C-alpha cells in the first residue's frame, strides 16, 4: 500500500515538474500554413535547453536533407538534427539561444515561453525580438 502511494505521489510530482517546463516532445506548427511539420524533443544539458527533430510529419519529406544549411550540417538529414541550442531560463522565458530553420538553412536568435501547460511559443528573430516570427508548438502526450 505504501509503495503504491509513494509511486502515485512521485508520478504526480514528476508530471507537475514537466508540465511547467518545456522539456519533452513538441509538435511544431508552421506559423504561415498552420500545418504540423515535425516533433522536436527538448532536453536539458549543462543547465541549457536544446532541441532535436525526432519525427517529420510532412508526407514525402521524411528523408529530407538540409540542403541550404552551411558547414557541417550541409546536406545532413533533418531527422535527428539539433535545431534549438543554448536556451537559458530567464524568469518565465528561456532565451539567449539559437534556432535553425532547416528549410532555409538560416539560424536565428531564439527565445521561448510556455503558453499554459501544453503550448510553447517559440520565437526566432534577427537582432532584436521585434524583428522575427513566433510559432506555437503543442506538447505531445
The three cell numbers of residue 117 are: 501547460
Asked if the model's pLDDT at residue 70 lies above 90, the reply is: yes
Do the domain assignments include residue 64? yes
Domains of the chain: total:
1
Enclosing domain of residue 66: 24-139
CB 18 within 8 A of CB 31: no
Do the domain assignments include residue 8? no
Do the domain assignments include residue 6? no
The gap from C-alpha 22 to its chain's centroid, in whole angstroms, comes to: 8
Number of H helices, E strands in the chain: 1, 8
Give SS3 for 69. coil
Mean pLDDT of the chain: 88
pLDDT tens for 118-129 read 999 999 999 877
Do the domain assignments include residue 125? yes
CATH number assigned to the domain comprising residue 56: 2.40.128.520
Give SS3 for 30. coil
Do the domain assignments include residue 10? no
The CA distance from 20 to 120, in Å, is 11
The CA distance from 30 to 44, in Å, is 24
Do the domain assignments include residue 113? yes
- Asked which of 8-12, 62-66, 112-116 is least confident by mean pLDDT, the reply is 8-12
Amino acid at each position: 500500500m505504501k509503495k503504491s502511494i509513494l509511486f502515485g505521489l512521485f508520478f504526480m510530482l514528476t508530471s507537475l515538474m514537466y508540465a511547467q517546463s518545456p522539456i519533452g516532445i513538441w509538435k511544431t506548427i508552421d506559423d504561415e500554413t498552420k500545418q504540423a511539420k515535425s516533433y522536436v524533443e527538448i532536453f536539458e544539458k549543462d543547465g541549457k535547453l536544446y532541441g532535436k527533430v525526432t519525427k517529420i510529419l510532412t508526407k514525402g519529406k521524411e528523408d529530407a536533407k538540409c540542403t541550404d544549411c552551411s558547414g557541417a550540417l550541409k546536406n545532413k538529414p533533418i531527422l535527428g538534427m539539433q535545431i534549438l541550442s543554448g536556451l537559458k531560463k530567464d524568469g518565465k522565458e528561456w532565451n539567449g539561444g539559437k534556432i535553425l530553420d532547416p528549410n532555409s538553412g538560416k539560424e536565428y536568435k531564439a527565445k521561448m515561453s510556455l503558453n499554459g501547460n501544453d503550448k510553447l511559443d517559440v520565437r526566432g528573430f534577427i537582432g532584436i525580438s521585434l524583428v522575427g516570427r513566433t510559432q506555437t508548438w503543442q506538447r505531445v502526450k
